[in-house]
Amino acid sequence: MAETAEEKRQRLIGLAKQAVSKAYSTGEHSIAQAINAYNEIEKTRNLLHERVEEWYGIYFPELTLGSAEKYTRFVLSAGSNKKQASEEKLREIFGEGSKEMLTWIRQSIGAEPEESEFKALSAIANAELELLRTEKEIDAYLKDNVPKLMPNVSYLVDYKLAAELLSKAGSLNKLAVMPSGTLQLLGAEKALFRHLRSGSKPPKYGVLFKLKEVTEADRRSRGRIARLFATKLSIAARADAISRRFIGKQLRESIDENLKRIREKEKSMPPAREQHAAGRGYGGRQRQFSRRFRGNRG
Amino acid sequence: MAETAEEKRQRLIGLAKQAVSKAYSTGEHSIAQAINAYNEIEKTRNLLHERVEEWYGIYFPELTLGSAEKYTRFVLSAGSNKKQASEEKLREIFGEGSKEMLTWIRQSIGAEPEESEFKALSAIANAELELLRTEKEIDAYLKDNVPKLMPNVSYLVDYKLAAELLSKAGSLNKLAVMPSGTLQLLGAEKALFRHLRSGSKPPKYGVLFKLKEVTEADRRSRGRIARLFATKLSIAARADAISRRFIGKQLRESIDENLKRIREKEKSMPPAREQHAAGRGYGGRQRQFSRRFRGNRG
């Protein structure tokens, strides 16, 4: 019996559905979405926290804590009268430090917010904590799923960095066929094109700047270390996308060996000059800028 | 009996506390914080929503709704199998449109997200709705408190715009003693300094661009209308900060009269040229830029 037009339509729709499902079944798309959302949420949470500290700061200027979460939880439990914050609650938030906190509260020169004002402030504080919870959920998702998709890449670098590389490249296949020099500069597109356009110094790394191996190194070795990682990550991505064999261990060993060599080389270098040491802690791009301006002035 | 050192210390601390409380008791600080937080939260909520639509879009590409909130609520109720979304829930979200939605769901070519993926996605969706709730709470706070602090200013313009003027000026007193030309350009500092530096066209308005009287006017009258509002807002701010008399009604009448005159003048103007009409809908600053570039090319 020949297929009717309607049957054909249904069959084709079925095929299309399968194709759509298959295209997204690798989870690459969701990992890219997740890491981008994570970065956006982290940024906003920090903004909201600054807002909370700036706002509540006028009511309790003495309170300076290293932990944003503890600060915000305290604000919420203090309510519109910090002296009413229960000892139990304080112990829950600050642990050992709760006694000291009681003293701070008693001696504070800050006034108290009005009910309606505290309501607005606490809405922001609650939003901040909600974003923190969201971050943790996304983080758990990435931790579970990135190593499944990219066992080799995520063996060499943190799973969040692996996800970022994937998202910046567009897909695992694109990451795999990418020259390692391109991989090295993923995330540094702006600096790269500025370099091509205006002849400023070329960037040494993009998202790879998040590697502690890079940040902790002498600044003159950073480019070298980023290049080393890019080379090995490129091989790892190929293994993840194409051969699907686990070669992470060998790659990691090779990285460690090379790092050792680079560090030995560092020892024979003259000490870093003062003006460079002062630039430490900034990204390479910012430093380039200041160097250019210095050049213009001199 | 003379005061001991400790008593003196306590008395001085008490005075300091009073001074601090008094300085912030006007609520200006909290209103500025609230409107800034509102703007930041709104921006992030939009970002998160884009993320939700982009992510869930691969599972339900047919779903395009005008309302971000409805979309996100649907995503949450659809879970990892949209066909399981209960009719009741759909009716709750879409009202009349729920029948149509059922058809869309049945015919969708999209696959379904995995459990773990949906968990990450729904965390983002929940964060978006939480930010929406936060926005509403801050909005309620502003609606209640801005008119109390600035009865005249918030009679002439929306309470959120009034709060933004306050926040940009720094304090009500500063807003009151500000020349109306400065008030007109609050929020356009970047364009203003660009103008002073490079001779580009001066900006016509900053945050006042949010006035619908400005946006809806012929672009050749916009600067005039912004100046009109700035003049009256400046008087209103003085009344709010200094005389504390309510003169909003007279000011509003005077604005309406002047608006009428400006609109009559518009009628006698030649019709706007095509190339300018195309620029409509953009902020004044963007248009200036494109005009400059056009000039360079010609």
In this structure, the answer to whether residues A69 and A107 fall within a common structural domain is yes
pLDDT (0 to 100) of residue B26: 72
- Taking residues B130-149, what's their average pLDDT? 94
pLDDT (0 to 100) of residue B105: 83
Does residue B20 belong to any structural domain of this protein?
no
In this structure, the answer to whether residues B57 and B128 fall within a common structural domain is yes
pLDDT per position as a tens digit, B234-259? 999 999 999 999 999 999 999 999 99
pLDDT (0 to 100) of residue B288: 44
Q: Left (φ > 0), alpha (ψ -120 to 50) or beta: where does B78 sit?
A: alpha
Distance separating alpha carbons of residues B245 and A105, to the nearest angstrom: 40
Distance separating alpha carbons of residues B294 and B88, to the nearest angstrom: 57
A19 touches chain B (CB under 8 A): no
Does residue A252 belong to any structural domain of this protein?
yes
pLDDT (0 to 100) of residue A297: 35
What per-residue string of b and e applies to A141-168 under the rule 16 or more CB within 10 Å gives b? bbeebbbebbbbbbbbbebbbbbbbbbb
Judge whether B250 and B157 are in contact, CB under 8 Å: no
pLDDT (0 to 100) of residue B295: 38
Q: How large a percentage of chain B has pLDDT more than 70?
A: 89
**B58, A20: Cβ pair inside 8 Å?**
yes
Q: Considering Cα of B49, then B50, then B51, then B55, what sign does the dihedral take?
A: positive
Q: Considering only A177-181, B7-11, B155-159, B234-238, which range has the smallest mean pLDDT?
A: B7-11
Q: Kindly list the residues from chain B whose CB atom is less than 8 angstroms away from the CB atom of residue A27.
A: 114, 117
Q: Has the ipTM of the complex gone over 0.85? A: no
- Taking residues A226-238, what's their average pLDDT? 94
Taking alpha carbons only, the member of A187, A156, A180, A159 closest to residue A250 is A156
Mean pLDDT of all residues belonging to chain A: 84
| Rg (chain A; Cα; Å) | 26
Confidence of residue A134 (pLDDT cuts 50, 70, 90): very high
pLDDT (0 to 100) of residue A202: 87
pLDDT per position as a tens digit, B163-210? 999 999 999 999 999 999 999 999 888 888 888 888 888 888 888 988
- Chosen from B45, B108, B124 to mutate, greatest number of chain A CBs within 10 A: B124
pLDDT (0 to 100) of residue B58: 84
Does residue A11 belong to any structural domain of this protein?
no
Distance separating alpha carbons of residues B270 and B237, to the nearest angstrom: 37
Does residue A288 belong to any structural domain of this protein?
no
Does residue A4 belong to any structural domain of this protein?
no
Task: Provide DSSP, B135-182.
Answer: HHHHHHHHHHHHHHH-TTHHHHS-HHHHHHHHHHHSSHHHHHHS-HHH
Does residue B198 belong to any structural domain of this protein?
yes
Distance separating alpha carbons of residues B163 and B153, to the nearest angstrom: 9
Residue A292 has pLDDT above 60, yes or no: no
Judge whether A146 and A163 are in contact, CB under 8 Å: yes
- Taking residues A186-193, what's their average pLDDT? 88
Tokens of A268: 């024979």
Q: Kindly list the residues from chain A whose CB atom is less than 8 angstroms away from the CB atom of residue B144.
A: 116
**What's the structural domain count of chain A?**
2
In this structure, the answer to whether residues A121 and A201 fall within a common structural domain is no
Distance separating alpha carbons of residues B7 and B138, to the nearest angstrom: 42
In this structure, the answer to whether residues B126 and B156 fall within a common structural domain is no
Q: Which of A102, A121, A142 delimits the end of a domain? A: A142
In this structure, the answer to whether residues B118 and B48 fall within a common structural domain is yes
CA A154, distance to chain mean position in Å, is 14
Does residue A281 belong to any structural domain of this protein?
no
Judge whether A60 and A108 are in contact, CB under 8 Å: yes
pLDDT (0 to 100) of residue A227: 93
Residue A278 has pLDDT above 70, yes or no: no
Q: Kindly list the residues from chain A whose CB atom is less than 8 angstroms away from the CB atom of residue B111.
A: 17, 20-21, 24-25
In this structure, the answer to whether residues B128 and B168 fall within a common structural domain is no
- Find the angle CA(A235)-CA(A237)-CA(A239) to the nearest 5 degrees: 70
Does residue A13 belong to any structural domain of this protein?
no
Q: Which of A88, A117, A142 delimits the end of a domain? A: A142
Distance separating alpha carbons of residues B225 and B227, to the nearest angstrom: 5
In this structure, the answer to whether residues A126 and A182 fall within a common structural domain is no
pLDDT (0 to 100) of residue B82: 80
CA A91, distance to chain mean position in Å, is 31
B13 touches chain A (CB under 8 A): yes
Alpha helices in chain A (DSSP H): 5-24, 28-56, 68-78, 87-94, 98-107, 115-149, 153-156, 159-169, 172-177, 180-184, 189-198, 212-215, 222-238, 248-267, 274-279, 284-297
Chain A contacts in chain B segment 84-113 (CB below 8 A): 109-111, 113
Q: Which of A118, A142, A166 delimits the end of a domain? A: A142
Q: Considering only A15-24, A82-91, B127-136, which range has the smallest mean pLDDT?
A: A15-24
Residue B131 has pLDDT above 80, yes or no: yes
**B138, A123: Cβ pair inside 8 Å?**
yes
Residue A13 is nearest to which of B40, B109, B134, comparing CB atoms? B109
Residue B127 is nearest to which of A114, A119, A130, comparing CB atoms? A130
In this structure, the answer to whether residues B263 and B161 fall within a common structural domain is yes
Q: Left (φ > 0), alpha (ψ -120 to 50) or beta: where does B104 sit?
A: alpha
Query: Which helix (H) or strand (E) segment is B86 a member of?
Result: none
Residues written for chain A: 298
**B111, A21: Cβ pair inside 8 Å?**
yes
Residue A295 has pLDDT above 50, yes or no: no
B211 three-state secondary structure: coil
pLDDT per position as a tens digit, B23-47? 666 788 889 989 999 998 999 899 9
In this structure, the answer to whether residues B105 and B216 fall within a common structural domain is no
CATH number at residue A113: 1.10.287.4070
- Taking residues B40-55, what's their average pLDDT? 91
In this structure, the answer to whether residues B156 and B79 fall within a common structural domain is no
In this structure, the answer to whether residues A192 and A175 fall within a common structural domain is yes
In this structure, the answer to whether residues A128 and A179 fall within a common structural domain is no
CATH number at residue A227: 1.10.246.90
- Find the angle CA(A27)-CA(A167)-CA(A158) to the nearest 5 degrees: 90
**A123, B134: Cβ pair inside 8 Å?**
yes
Single-letter code of the amino acid located at A1:
M
Which residues constitute the domain of residue A191?
A: 150-270
Distance separating alpha carbons of residues B51 and B38, to the nearest angstrom: 20
